[in-house]
Amino acid sequence: MHARMPLDPAQFTAAPRVLVQTPSLVVTGFSYPTGVAGLRLENARGHVVVLPWMGQIVWDAVFDGVRLTMGSLFDTPRPATEIIDTYGCLAFHSGLLRNGCPGPEDTHALHGEMPCAAMDECAIEVGGDAEGEFVRVVSTRLFVRGFGNRYLARPSVTVRPDATEFDIGMEVHNTGAAAMDLMYMCHVNFGFVPGGRIVQPAPFTPAAVAARTAIPAHVPSSPRYAALIAALARDPTPTETLDLATGYDPEQVFYLHGLGADAAGDTHLMLRRPAGDAFVMSFAPARFPHVVRRLMCNADQQVAAFALPSTCEPEGYAAERRKGNVATVAAGGVARFTVRAGYLDTCATTAREAVIGAL
């Protein structure tokens, strides 16, 4: 049985306020000094912070005292309509009609219309399922454009007692009379870990870890950078361990292919930290046929987005349409996506690495 508590923006003030509490889970509402509302979903091991009214961005997460989130110029979220103006979060929903870096033929914003979209409604759900008790925050946005598309987006974040992994969900309901384009990426930005080792169910070969050789307009280039990309395209092995000497300024982007999956249809990847613990990702390749990796480390950004599950590559609408990577949702249809992200301690990391090795 589920209980549902609708939320109102007036509930979010500078003074934190407990909105839901169970013996093992606490949800607290608050407002950042910038005026952006936040929800803190907490269990005994740590917490996740969600921005329920702004794209349902996952701003931050900490488990067992370890912060998962990328380093950036942004100490707190800022009011924004485009993700570039508050680019310091752990995760955001990239898409949905358009996605990625706009090319010369594109008119859409970087990563589309969804990342910072104003939500119409938000609610906290408390209940149980086959995995046990949970608390979930669900936001809703109705997108309507005259002579265009009409869809209902329903992002969610689910936290469970004592769990250090949490679920990021997205449902897209096409409520229009015609089929709609769909380009969706769950953009999870873990912190860059010098000496960290990426563990994946695929070899570090040019076929399985393909370097992006086209340089987007927003990335500053140089002969040295072009030469490094060419070298990594021939042999991506140096990126298995995050060594600053490899060069991640500007960013390095790769497309992952042939990831193995378990009996349930999920693939698993991790960034194992030198201490033995890890940041982890799990998702179904059947729902996310493309996986992108973005690595960057300089004074302004320290990010190891080692697995960005997506329905397309991030080269903008026109380029992805030519590749055949733009999906569609039929009129009245629904597309559903779930990504499990988080942290594992050393013991759990060793067990997960064995699972990955067997895929």
Taking only the tens place, the pLDDT of each residue in 53-77 is 999 999 999 999 999 999 999 999 9
DSSP category for residue 71: B
Taking only the tens place, the pLDDT of each residue in 217-265 is 777 778 888 899 999 999 999 999 999 888 898 999 999 999 999 999 9
In this structure, the number of other CB atoms found within 10 A of the CB of residue 161 comes to: 15
- What is the rounded average pLDDT of the residues 201-223? 89
Strand partners, 199: 270
Half-sphere exposure of 36 (CA within 13 A, CB side): 23
Q: What is the pLDDT of residue 121?
A: 98
Q: Chain-centre distance of CA 277, in angstroms?
A: 20
Structure tokens at 51: 């921005």
By three-state DSSP, how is residue 304 classified? strand
Q: For the chain, how far is it from start to end, CA to CA, in angstroms?
A: 36
* Exposed / middle / buried, residue 174 (Cβ in 10 Å: 0-12, 13-18, 19+): buried
Omega before 250 cis (within 30°)? yes
Determine the Cα–Cα distance for residues 38 and 51; give it in Å rounded to an integer. 5
Determine the Cα–Cα distance for residues 280 and 285; give it in Å rounded to an integer. 16
Judged by average pLDDT, the poorest of 87-96, 222-231, 296-305, 316-325 is: 222-231
So what's the architecture of 3-358 in CATH?
A: Distorted Sandwich (2.70)
Greatest C-alpha distance within the chain? 60
Cβ pair 100, 111 in contact under 8 A: yes
In this structure, the number of other CB atoms found within 10 A of the CB of residue 202 comes to: 18
Structure tokens at 329: 């949702």
> Vertex 163, ends 96 and 269: CA angle to 5°?
55
Sign of CA dihedral 348, 193, 245, 202: positive
User: What is the pTM for the complete model shown?
Assistant: 0.96
Determine the Cα–Cα distance for residues 284 and 289; give it in Å rounded to an integer. 9
Judged by average pLDDT, the poorest of 102-106, 173-177, 244-248, 352-356 is: 244-248
Does the pLDDT at position 1 exceed 60?
A: no
Q: What is the pLDDT of residue 263?
A: 97
Helix (H) or strand (E) holding 121: strand 121-129
Judged by average pLDDT, the poorest of 57-61, 141-145, 189-193, 211-215 is: 211-215
Which segments of the chain does DSSP mark as H helices, in order? 223-234, 317-323, 346-358
> Vertex 140, ends 307 and 179: CA angle to 5°?
75
Q: Provide the pLDDT confidence category of residue 147 given band limits of 50, 70 and 90.
A: confident
By three-state DSSP, how is residue 69 classified? strand
By three-state DSSP, how is residue 350 classified? helix
